[in-house]
Amino acid sequence: MQERNQIGLAIVGCGTIGRIRAELARAYPGVGWIGLCDLKSDIGQKLAEDVQADFFTNDYRELLERPEVTATIIATDENFHFDPTMLAVEKGHSLFIEKPLATDARQSAQILDAIQSAGLDAVIGYTNRFRRRFLTVKERLITGQIGDVHTVVTRAFMNRMVPIATVQRTQERATLTPMVVSGTHSLDMSLWLLEGKKPVSVFAQSTDPVLGKWGTKDSTVGIFTMDDGSVFSMNISWGLPEVWPGAVYGIEIGIVGSEGVIDIEDTHRDLVMATNFAQGAGYAPEGYTAPDRHVEFLTSYPPGDLHDGQLWGPMREETNAWFQRLYTGASTPHATASDGHRNLLMTMAMDLSAKRGAPVALPPDPEELMKELT
């Protein structure tokens, strides 16, 4: 019989994603204690009331030093992962860190080194790994159903809601690019499907005619060469109009092998709603007001969809699988801290290549990345 390890959970960051994971934690029988932290008392205390949290504070140090805590979720804004993550590592907590591991490649390397040195279990939030269609594709590749993969083509489309909502919260925007913040999801998926193949170089180009005024790029297009000669193209545009019907994300992936092909259309255009009633943004954090939208690609919000006041979909699967991982020791398809650091380096290398107008050898040096990109 598997040992059951009661979870004492700390959640740092009570925004959209922190709320989702906290609500799921309250419903999971293996979570025996929940503590929350957010700089904004109104947001944090409202969540604390809603999930009947055992503790709330504005100071992550006060939360992470509580003796009840055995596991921590880092759900702050992208630029503020480092300090609470390093303290949670110091305290020996199991970790769930929303992507990216950090927005500074040097800090990401420090976090990974600290996690590995402490021998801790740490995962990164890459929700697409928990969608049935991608798990099905992964299984077909593991069992060699299309032979040896030699070409992968990936394209991601997003409207401008996420970049505007993300960058307007900070002046530190140099690394808040389409690849680092959002393209990382489809890059992680592709590299997960290409597991065993190592990227050795990348050449990329970017453009910013619309989002340049916000301090970020519209689109990045790149091609990776792998250590066995296979090629992987990775393209993202998060500069589509705010009224684009995708609530957040649409992906297409083509995987060509020596004995077959897998073609994935994950654009959500098979389920379309048009209505006279205005639709809000799929992703609408505090401070962002979305324009009226009257057409929607249903199921295109990556965390999942609401029914009867509950979220159903991949983020529910991902979160509950992590609780099961901690509670029973079950194996799960979560991205590891090592995967998260690799993904950050790959996305930043694309940005560096676009800036230089030349290929970049992989893996890049974190110090070199930050010196040139910031």
Write out 227-288 in H/E/C secondary structure: CCCCEEEEEEEEEECCCCCECCCEEEEEEEECCCEEEEEECCCCCEEEEEEEECCCCCCCCC
Integer CA distances (angstroms), 217 to 103, 185, 322, in order? 16, 17, 33
Q: Length of the chain in residues, anyone?
A: 374
Rounded CA gap, 125 and 96, in Å? 7
Structure confidence at residue 1 (pLDDT):
45
Write down the CATH superfamily of domain 7-127+317-336. NAD(P)-binding Rossmann-like Domain (3.40.50.720)
pLDDT digits (tens), the chain, 374 positions? 456 789 999 999 999 999 999 999 999 999 999 999 999 999 999 999 999 999 999 999 999 999 999 999 999 998 999 999 999 999 999 999 999 999 999 999 999 999 999 999 999 999 999 999 999 999 999 999 999 999 999 999 999 988 888 887 777 778 889 999 999 999 999 999 999 999 999 999 999 999 999 889 999 999 999 999 999 999 999 999 988 998 889 999 999 999 999 999 999 999 999 999 988 766 666 667 778 889 999 999 999 999 999 999 999 999 999 999 999 999 999 999 999 999 999 999 999 999 999 999 999 999 999 999 98
Chain CA centroid to CA 6, Å: 26
Q: What angle do CA 17, 18, 19 make, to 5 degrees?
A: 90
Architecture of the domain made up of 129-309? 2-Layer Sandwich (3.30)
pLDDT at 92: 98
User: pTM of this prediction?
Assistant: 0.93
Q: Looking at the chain, which residues constitute the CATH 3.30.360.10 domain(s)?
A: 129-309
Q: What is the dihedral of CA 307, 310, 311, 317, to 10 degrees?
A: -120
- Return the pLDDT at 283: 63
CA pair distance 231, 257, nearest whole angstrom:
11
Show the tokens assigned to 136. Answer: 């099905």
185, amino acid identity: H
Contacts of 259 (CB under 8 A, 6+ apart): 144, 145, 146, 147, 148
**Alpha-carbon 78 to chain mean position:** 10
* Cα separation of the two ends of the chain: 52
Using alpha carbons, select from 69, 70, 124, 116 the residue that is nearest to residue 96: 124
Residues of the chain with CATH 3.40.50.720: 7-127+317-336
Q: How far is CA 345 from CA 98, 174, 349, 353, in A?
A: 16, 15, 6, 12
Specify the pLDDT at position 266. Answer: 96
The Cα 186–Cα 189 span in angstroms is 5
Query: Which two three-digit tokens encode residue 260?
Result: 């077959």
